[in-house]
Structure 1
């Protein structure tokens, strides 16, 4: 590199350092990879409202749905690494889509982790009229009626759960494609579909009202926010684990100082009693303080990728 090149490089480094020191000076866009109204959107808006206080700038929530969330994630990958565009990622968008919607970005290399927000219990639900009141009797009924049970297949998490349930029990079911959890929830409430897999946040009101049956929380341990729902291990199907989660990501190359400021705003929001209460109402277990760090999310995300990508590939799970 010649002298002029070295000077220009030094100027760019100094300029980027100054920009990071002043960050943020304008609105920040928080991409939500699904339409308004779902649990992802709700959490994004809760966090945006509180992070504004710490950052001193408005955090604008922008819903960019389509292709299982891969459109929004692709946009994040192409965004400038300046901290003014981030996204709220989850299992579907930042793990399963590596297989289901292979694209022009690498989920492990093209993003900077900001921090993990929550671990989200996934529930296996049944319509009220199903002739089974617990997971053991559900499996027995499914085995006695091969292929009769219908499962809403609205995303990769639901499809993966169904495949694992069949593999672990020998029972079979019919997968019915849905465009989202909302229509699937309406159909299970109406008795038009037998089984549904969703995050607790999307189903707690109906479970509490007794309009649908909750067969299992598919986490390794019981959740503090849904303590009355047994794990799949406890309910009789060992190894049926499909937990959800929410985390913030930025484009690759975002300065560490900027990541640190975003993380500080995130953790300040999560420490607020009002935010903790709203997370509990949504059925979300808040991430540990260690998981809330960029390093914590990086380790968590790698473990999720290492575990699930081979399983999804082996099961042949694809977009529908």
Structure 2
């Protein structure tokens, strides 16, 4: 009787193991065996779209299946991010995670239909700093002179919209320096750049690759970059920290996410492919030319970074009194 009971138990255990294997998401077996959709929550032609297209072809080659960009812009990135959050957790839909959507929107749009726990990290892709540029007619040549002038009178700074990274870069700068800065929002980076070129606003925080061509004329002056180290795009421009505001650091950043519950071996496969793709000489060249600093590493590194940025930007958003538009 004891032997029969033991054999019955072993048989049940074997059946349970087989059932567990059968119930695992199909993506974990032979992944990937069809194209992968990469949801980018911004329209074509923007910085997020550019970053994704620099790397998607090489990552797809490594995986053996194409990675197809699916641009889903709208609602400050929340529409596309929600699409990614509610996709099947099988590794065939990945989402472009961005500083605005992941670290700022949760405070500006508390009622979004997605939340941080809907995702798991795949990889930290890259960071790109901003450059503080001023209209050439403004009588300042460096960050210290800019701060000093902004303490004697109100200066204006443009942005690509309320809650954008270049808006909050200005809010953080003002809070750390005591500079009297008035925010003037525009509908995108292009109009904001035209405004500082035309003297409608005094200053602008803008990605170096956009600012660099404008510096060749006599209408704009770069006085600092927001990263912890100087950027190769504008190596002669000091960081804002070294120019007089210790501890100041702001960057736009991005990474890849998948829906929560995606098999760990699928996440590991994606992580390895993207890490390898970012070591490709052509990919590295494309990223460097556009001012991106490559990050990479394991999934947990991106999770830790997002957590630290949430802690950083929550108080800044509150200080700016941002509300959904």
Query: Fold match, TM over 0.5?
Result: yes
Partner residue of 1:105 out of 80, 103, 114: 114
Per-residue deviation, residues 24-79 of structure 1 (Å, max 9, x unmatched)? 12221111122222221111001111112111211111211112111111111111
Per-residue deviation, residues 238-266 of structure 1 (Å, max 9, x unmatched)? 33321221111111111111111111210
Distance 1:230 1:79, change over 3 A: same
Distance apart, 1:208 and its partner CA: 5.4
**Match in the other structure for 1:275:** 283
* 2:316 is aligned with 1:299: no
**Match in the other structure for 2:83:** 75
Per-residue deviation, residues 120-178 of structure 1 (Å, max 9, x unmatched)? 112222223322221122222222322x4243252432222222222222222221222
TM-score (norm 2): 0.87
Gaps in structure 2 of 5+ consecutive residues: 1-11
Distance apart, 1:16 and its partner CA: 2.7
Secondary structure of the residue aligned to 1:265 is helix
Secondary structure of the residue aligned to 2:134 is strand
Distance apart, 1:235 and its partner CA: 1.6
Q: Do the aligned residues in 1 keep the contact of 2:96 with 2:255 (CA within 8 Å)? A: yes
Distance 1:22 1:149, change over 3 A: same
Partner residue of 1:152 out of 115, 134, 159: 159
**Match in the other structure for 1:117:** 125
Secondary structure of the residue aligned to 1:247 is strand
1:160-175 superposed matches below 5 A: 160-175=168-183
Q: Do the aligned residues in 2 keep the contact of 1:149 with 1:195 (CA within 8 Å)? A: yes
Distance apart, 1:15 and its partner CA: 4.5
* 2:192 is aligned with 1:206: no
Per-residue deviation, residues 177-205 of structure 1 (Å, max 9, x unmatched)? 22221222233333333222223343333
Q: Do the aligned residues in 2 keep the contact of 1:153 with 1:176 (CA within 8 Å)? A: no
Residues paired across the two proteins, number:
312
**Match in the other structure for 1:316:** 321
Distance apart, 1:229 and its partner CA: 1.7
**Match in the other structure for 2:136:** 128
CA distance in 1, matches of 2:81, 2:240: 31
CA distance in 2, matches of 1:202, 1:13: 51
Per-residue deviation, residues 216-247 of structure 1 (Å, max 9, x unmatched)? 11122333454222111222223332122111
TM-score (norm 1): 0.88
Gaps in structure 1 of 5+ consecutive residues: none
Distance 1:257 1:201, change over 3 A: farther
**Match in the other structure for 1:237:** 245
CA distance in 2, matches of 1:181, 1:160: 14
